[in-house]
Amino acid sequence: MSRGLFVTLEGLDGSGKTTQLKRLAIWMEKRGIEPVVTRQPGGTSTGDRIRALLLDSRSAGLAPMTEMALMFADRAQAIAEVIEPALAGGKTVLCDRFTDSTEAYQGGGRALGSQLVLEMHRLICGGLQPDLTVLLLPSLDRSLERARRRNDRVAEKDGPDESRFEREQDAFYRRVWEKYREIARRDTERVVAVEGDLSIDDVHEQIVEAVSERLVMAHSR
Ligand code: TYD
């Protein structure tokens, strides 16, 4: 059996990633592909506990190294429990965030640098790389505005507190955004960047085009 296709979605909080992931999964299902959809942090029961620790705003004073190590702990579990078995079984995996997030947020945002994150990736994730990464990169202003609006809505509701990252300052998000752009310029084969403030339909179309191309390539492997 041939290995499944590994697709990741990346972008800032408020980039419209979740909406696009849902639409892409529906598009695939209509074509008879049943993707395994997962997210990071989270996606396993251990990962959900790590996620709660990472995103709760009461986890004050987490050292950047701790934050990065927890992201990779979550990822190691997700690879072992969900991603690798699915790919080995020929399934397409759609993952909401992967190591590019760690490079952008901890490497860029927390200023740990790319080299450290990539070295951790090599040690912990082995050779696992996405076949395709869709990076949603609306303008920084637009992303920030949407993320803040969403955060205000979340703050009004009961339920788990997942606002630790959204509470960061604009300068943090600027560094994340810039690191994402750097990744897109560096990994041109793997990363398809959808840039600019486009409509939901236009973004979806661009994503579908990139995914279709990879699916054709995978079938002719
Ligand atoms: P989530 O609520 O899933 O955000 P979104 O819907 O925007 O994906 O929260 C995930 C948060 O964790 C998000 O702010 C990005 C951050 N993050 C990192 O800082 N490093 C990582 O490696 C990952 C996977 C996420």
Q: Domains of the chain: which residue ranges?
A: 6-219
Q: Kindly report the protein residue whose alpha carbon is nearest to atom 2 of ligand 1.
A: 162
Evaluate whether the domain defined by 6-219 bears CATH number 3.40.50.300. yes
* pLDDT value at residue 110: 96
Is the distance from the beta carbon of residue 180 to the nearest atom of ligand 1 less than 6 Å? no
* pLDDT value at residue 200: 95
* pLDDT value at residue 165: 79
Separation of CA 41 and ligand 1 centre (Å): 7
Instruction: State how far the Cα of 87 lies from the Cα of 58, in Å rounded to an integer.
Output: 36
* pLDDT value at residue 164: 82
Instruction: State how far the Cα of 169 lies from the Cα of 19, in Å rounded to an integer.
Output: 24
* pLDDT value at residue 15: 85
**23, 210 contact by CB (below 8 A):** no
Atom of ligand 1 lying closest to residue 74 CA? 24
Count the neighbouring beta carbons within 10 Å of the beta carbon of residue 24.
20
* pLDDT value at residue 3: 94
Separation of CA 84 and ligand 1 centre (Å): 21
Residue ranges in the chain whose pLDDT is less than 50: none
Q: Kindly report the protein residue whose alpha carbon is nearest to atom 20 of ligand 1.
A: 102
* pLDDT value at residue 158: 63
If you compute the radius of gyration of the chain from its CA atoms, what whole number of angstroms results? Answer: 17
Which positions ≥6 away from 113 have C-beta within 8 Å? Answer: 107
* pLDDT value at residue 59: 85
What is the amino acid identity at position 205?
A: E
Q: Where are the alpha helices (DSSP H) in the chain?
A: 17-30, 45-55, 64-78, 84-88, 99-101, 114-125, 140-156, 170-186, 200-219
What is the amino acid identity at position 110?
A: R
* pLDDT value at residue 89: 97
Is the distance from the beta carbon of residue 103 to the nearest atom of ligand 1 less than 6 Å? no
Query: pTM (2 decimals)?
Result: 0.94
Q: Using CA atoms of 99, 191, 84, 13 in order, give the dihedral in degrees to the nearest 10.
A: 50
Q: Which tokens sit at 23?
A: 């639409």
**20, 207 contact by CB (below 8 A):** yes
Is the distance from the beta carbon of residue 73 to the nearest atom of ligand 1 less than 6 Å? no
